[in-house]
Amino acid sequence: MDKLGVQSLLFLFMFFIYGCSASSHFSSAEFGKEIITVKQWGGTPASRSEPANDSLAKEQTIKRITLHHQGESFPEGTDPIQYLRNLQSWSRKEKHWIDIPYHFIIDLKGNVYEGRKINYAGDTNTEYNPMGHALIEVVGNFEDVEPNEFQLDAIVKTMAWLAFKYNVPVDSIRSHRDYSSKTVCPGKNLYKYFQNGYFHRKVEEYLNYK
């Protein structure tokens, strides 16, 4: 084979290798555009003027990613927009928190919604301190039901996006129950994806394409 032929084959080989990688490239910017903002779902942004625990209203630097579940039934047909509006109202009026306790909420169809502004630490009813944590909530009670494929895919993509954006190590992606002895959150049927390594493995696959 002549030199030109060898160069052509080398070009095709490199195109195949890098072309395949590019087609699976994890785009942080594109995923960010898919998130449904507070304004889009009809909420109001958190403000320091809201009644809140001062220590949790301070600005935070993201160092961890932590998964929660709603802990209540979320039947098919439930309106996620109304759920978010109710959650925001309850969080402020009943709990006197600055906003929804979570930064991102995932519905039954895998849609990802913006919750509390991420530079404010989240809130919790248990003893762990969520300062420095990016909190993801998945609707449903995963002690009783299984997560669907849309939710699992959205969880992995949200984790990978946050890990990429804030340079969070994969081993710093955990669940609520890993920080608290007072909860089973995110439920046994979601927690098993930490136990079997699924979440960490899939996040690493996404990050390897960045």
54: domain CATH number is: 3.40.80.10
> Do 124 and 103 contact (CB within 8 A), yes or no?
no
What confidence score (pLDDT) does residue 13 get?
42
What confidence score (pLDDT) does residue 125 get?
87
Residue 10: inside a domain, yes or no?
Answer: no
Cα–Cα distance, 112 to 158 (Å, whole number): 8
Residue 20: inside a domain, yes or no?
Answer: no
Residue 58: inside a domain, yes or no?
Answer: yes
Q: Which of 71, 144, 68 is nearest to 104 (CA)?
A: 68
What confidence score (pLDDT) does residue 29 get?
72
Percent helix, percent strand, percent coil in the chain, to nearest 5: 45, 10, 45
What confidence score (pLDDT) does residue 27 get?
67
pTM of the full predicted structure?
Answer: 0.84
Residue 13: inside a domain, yes or no?
Answer: no
Print pLDDT tens along the chain (210 aa).
554 454 444 444 443 433 343 334 466 677 888 999 999 999 998 866 555 454 446 689 999 999 999 999 999 999 999 999 999 999 999 998 999 999 999 999 999 999 999 999 999 989 999 999 999 999 999 999 999 999 999 999 999 999 999 999 999 999 999 999 999 999 999 999 999 999 999 999 999 865
Cα–Cα distance, 137 to 113 (Å, whole number): 10
What confidence score (pLDDT) does residue 182 get?
93
What confidence score (pLDDT) does residue 2 get?
53
Residue 129: inside a domain, yes or no?
Answer: yes
Structural domain range at position 122: 27-207
Residue 17: inside a domain, yes or no?
Answer: no
